[in-house]
Structure 1
Amino acid sequence: MVENDAFANLKSDVILTGTVQQSIERLTGFFEVDFVTLHLFRGGIDATNSPFVRTNYPDAWVSQYLLNDYVRIDPVLQHAQNHEEPFCWSEIALGVQQLQMMEKAIAAGVGKTGFTVTHVDSIGRRSMLSFNAKAAKGGETWKPFLVEHGERLQGLAADMHLKSLAELYGENEELPQLSPRESECLKWTAEGKTHTEIAIILGLSDHTVRGYLKVARVKLDSVSLAQAVAKASSMGLI
């Protein structure tokens, strides 16, 4: 059982020191599971080509996963993209291909049970922190564990989300602090919408939308709106 004071100490002992990969290893020991994985969903052209992933899964399974392009059918990834509450893998309904994938994962040494905690930040960037073990702790599934520790686990996922962003973009490179509205306007611009169309979608005036986009362009140090959109996408801000 994970005690409250242990969670309180986890931030300084695991989150604030070392790399994301080192945190993964420490979390594995802390929760007494077999494997931990952090997956940061990226936007723009990086969404599928270069996701930010840190894991201690066996190299053989990672290679098999990549070789077979399992990211297309991974049931945990698909579920995490549509749910914000912690969930047990046993809750997911599997298709034929997904069931075959999970059977191959178990054959490769991946545990039979797992749970995932997702986090979505203020501008919509999503990450998932997954724990995998041969057996659930304290029962047949991880559900009782998630019910008891869900809030603290979500706080942990938020900390790991921020640490991953810092590592991805460089701790010495401060990300522009776009407001949610500025990010929304840039996102719709990236979709090809005009100022007027964005104003209608968001229920704002055309003047207000132009103002948000101007501020976003300045924050991103861009000479044009197109450059601002490209920068925001590459930085994972939209």
Structure 2
Amino acid sequence: MTHARAHEIADDPFFAHRNPFGAATANSDLYTVTIPDAVRRCRWIAMDINASAFGLYFITPSADRPRLMPCFDSDYPGLAGATRNISAAASEEIILHARRSTGPRCWSDEADHSAESSNVFPWIERTTALVSNTTGIAFPVHAERSQSGLVVFFGTNITPLLGDVIYDIHARCFSLFDAVSRIQPSDASRARTMSKRELECLKLTANGYTSEGIARLLKLSVHTANQYLTQSAQKLDAVNRAQAVAKALRLGLID
């Protein structure tokens, strides 16, 4: 981390809330952020550990089919293919771990068997690679209303993280997730006008159903199911259905 950025972070109220267990502090309502603010600060963390990509995910509260739902990543306002793959392929084990624990999980490039690769994240428990041919780390994070998620960083040349550095990065991830969990859509009144069908389609999307699956369950055409999802994304001021689901979860519109 550069000296200038260290001062910038120290003076930024966004990172002043650093409880590693995600509990809100008395001052946690004194700042407001937008998604672009959160992306910028997540990019700072990525730069500090030399990660080439990152993503912030909410875990859907479904007891039967919990999933990682991307909120944003390093391709914001788009969504990278790697992020979609992580969301689709993340194992039940790491999702359940993130809901119950704060312990980070890491992986190393399977093609690189050097000692340097294996020592990037010493003492951190390993997990199946979320992105192949990369080294990465996933930080479980928690916020109010039992919200949980993962902040993921990965790349091919990540800086080794030792001792207090990991604790500091994890604390910053908690602050990031706490702030993002409080963000409201820019036009909340439009969110309140969402129809029952729009909310049903969003909830089914959160539970892993495709447009075809939603259409089959709700006895709709695929075109109509997609139309409901598009309308809900517009009402929530989301750039895609994944962000619409994340916003609906934060607002308590779906569970």
What TM-score does the superposition give when structure 1 sets the normalisation length? 0.48
Higher relative CO (Cα under 8 Å, sequence separation at least 6) belongs to 2
What TM-score does the superposition give when structure 2 sets the normalisation length? 0.45
Q: Which has the higher helix share?
A: 1
* Bigger Rg, which one: 1
